[in-house]
Amino acid sequence: MMQSPLQQKKFRSQRAAENTGKSIAYVLLTILSIIWIIPIAWIVLNALRVEYQPDGTYIGGVAGLGTFFPTRIGFDNFERLWNYAYASGKEHSFLKWMGNTLLIAVFCCVISTFLILSVAYCMSKLKFKLRKPFMNITMILGLFPGFMSMIAIYFILKSFGLCANPDAPHLSIIGLILAYSAGSGLGFQVAKGFFDVLPNSLVESAKLDGCSNFKIFWKIILPLSKPIIIYTALMSFTGPWMDFIFAKVILGNNSDYWTVSVGLYNMMYGSTTVDTSVFTIFCAGCTCVGIPIVTLFMCLQRYYVEGVTAGAVKG
């Protein structure tokens, strides 16, 4: 059917309005992306910044702090970072901090993932009397930031010798793992949304065959839940990897047991040695910390998106 001139004009005006709206949205998104990328680019460029005085003395990035782009790039800061000694007798401090962080993050990832998925399964597939009140309580508790419980957690762990213990500093790592993992089950909402999509007939059929709830969860639900498992594990890993507040409070003053965030902070503000190039070394440390997280997100991006969006629309 042929459109009248009035209809064609209206169609063209609607299409022009849509194109204008899309153009404005793209411009705004581009500006926001640039604003978001600039600090990251600045950190990476300072990590690669290599500046020397005329006499050949290495001064890191101090001479070029007023410039965004370095006059010379290299990997000297990374070499100095790997060989960095926080204090006398504390050689290769950054490597120890990375090892501690990886150890804590891996343990927290395993424990937290199991707890979150277990609670999500119970809240999704099991029916019990206080189910809805419990969900409401957890929703309210989730509105409060975790660091509000920091003082209480500190004194609880201190009473068990798991916090800033000078006689057994390695126990502080156990205390930090407990602090990260103990309350992780409250973050079950996303996983519950995923489990809600799985048909209840699978659970009912398994119960008729005599399967226990744990066996149903382990043998039937988890094999069908790869996206949400990867999403939960990724979130459980990145939390301890990047956290500073709890690690700073719980780990104490023994630098051999610090995480990388606490170590880099003390590198800048608490080192016993004076090094004018410490800022560029700090930037190199920040870059090294970000590389594993970026790699994980790039490799697992598809599963991450599936885990977030699954259950958003339930038919």
- pLDDT above 70: percentage of residues in the chain: 84
- Is the pLDDT at 56 greater than 50? The verdict is no
| Residue-wise pLDDT tens digits, 146-182 | 778 888 888 999 888 888 888 888 889 999 999 999 8
Average pLDDT (126-137) is 86
Cα 59–62–66 angle (5° rounding)?
145
Highest mean pLDDT pick, 73-77, 105-109, 209-213: 105-109
Angle formed by the axes of helices 93-125 and 260-269, nearest 10° = 140
What does the mean pLDDT of the chain come to? 82
pLDDT at 107: 95
Measure the CA–CA gap between 228 and 209, rounded to whole angstroms.
26
Task: Give the separation between CA 296 and CA 49, rounded to whole angstroms.
Answer: 26
Structure tokens, 119 = 């609670």
Give the pLDDT score at 296.
86
* C-alpha closest to that of 254 among 82, 79, 89: 89
Tell me the pLDDT tens digit for each residue of 248-261.
989 888 888 999 99
Residue percentage of the chain with pLDDT more than 90:
23
Higher pLDDT, 28 or 76: 28
Please tell me the CATH code under which domain 97-309 is placed.
1.10.3720.10
Q: Which residues contact 35 (CB under 8 A, 6 or more apart)?
A: none
Does residue 4 surpass a pLDDT of 70? no
Write down the domain spans for the chain. Answer: 5-81, 97-309
Instruction: Select the more confidently predicted residue: 23 or 85.
Output: 23
Please give the pLDDT value at position 173.
92
Specify the higher pLDDT residue, 13 or 208: 208
Confidence of residue 274 (pLDDT cuts 50, 70, 90): very low
Worst-scoring range by mean pLDDT, 13-22, 23-32, 265-274, 287-296?
265-274
What pLDDT shows up at residue 63? 46
Determine the pLDDT at residue 7: 60
Q: Which pLDDT score is estimated for 6?
A: 61
Q: What is the pLDDT of residue 65?
A: 55
